[in-house]
Amino acid sequence: MKPNSENFSKNSSNPDQLSHLDDKNQAQMVDVSGKAATRRQAIALGRVRMSTETLAKIQAGDAPKGEVLSTAKLAGIMAAKQTSQLIPLCHPLPLHKIDLQIVADPQLPGYEIRALVITKAETGVEMEALTAVSVAALTLYDMAKALEKSIEIQSIRLLSKTGGKSGDYQAAPETKQG
C-alpha cells in the first residue's frame, strides 16, 4: 500500500474526544499544523524538603559531590530543552527563554524551584516548565543524597500559563496544611 494522507487517522472534530487519542483510541501526537505560532509562557514550581543541617551544608558549599545548586539549575535548563525526547507525544519546541531559580527556604526547610519557559510556537510550554523543575529537583537530591537520604521532592505543579486556544491559567493560591 502506497502511503498517503488517507491511510492515516485524522483528529476527530468531536470535542468530547481526547486530543491525544485517534478514532481507534490509539495514542497519537496532536496535529498543531493548523494553529498559529503565538507567544506562550509557563511557570512551574516544586519544593525540595530536607533537614536544616543539610540545607546549611548546601548553602555553605559543603556537599560531598560539589556545587549542588548550579548543577541542579543547569540540569533543569537542559531537561526543558529535551522534554519532547522524555515525554511521549510532546512536540519539540523552539525555546526562547528558560529561567530556573532555586531559592533557599529556611521555613520549609529546603529549596523552592521555579521555572519560567517562553516560546513562540503552535503549542504551549507547560511540560517544559514542569520538566525543568522535576529534573532540577532530582539533581538536587542526587547531589545532596550523601548528606541525607530522606530528602523529599514535593508539590511540583503548574503555577501559570499564558497564550494559546485554551487561554490563560493561574493556579489557586496554596493553602497551608496543618
Domain assignment present for 17? no
3-class DSSP assignment, residue 102: strand
Catalytic residues: 142
Domain assignment present for 12? no
Domain assignment present for 25? no
- Cα–Cα distance measured from residue 92 to residue 113, given in angstroms and rounded to the nearest whole number: 23
Its domain, for residue 127, covers 45-162
pLDDT digits (tens, 9 = 90+) for 153-167: 999 999 999 998 888
**Cα dihedral across residues 30, 34, 36, 37: positive or negative:** positive
CB 99 within 8 A of CB 85: no
CB 37 within 8 A of CB 122: yes
Domain assignment present for 33? no
Please give the backbone phi and psi of residue 156, each rounded to the nearest 5 degrees, phi first: -75, 125
CB 115 within 8 A of CB 98: yes
Domain assignment present for 178? no
Domain assignment present for 8? no
For 173, the enclosing helix (H) or strand (E) is: none
pLDDT digits (tens, 9 = 90+) for 23-61: 777 777 777 777 888 999 999 999 999 999 999 999 999
Domain assignment present for 74? yes
Domains in the chain: how many in total?
Answer: 1
Domain assignment present for 86? yes
Is it the case that residue 19 has pLDDT exceeding 90? no
CATH number at residue 154: 3.30.70.640
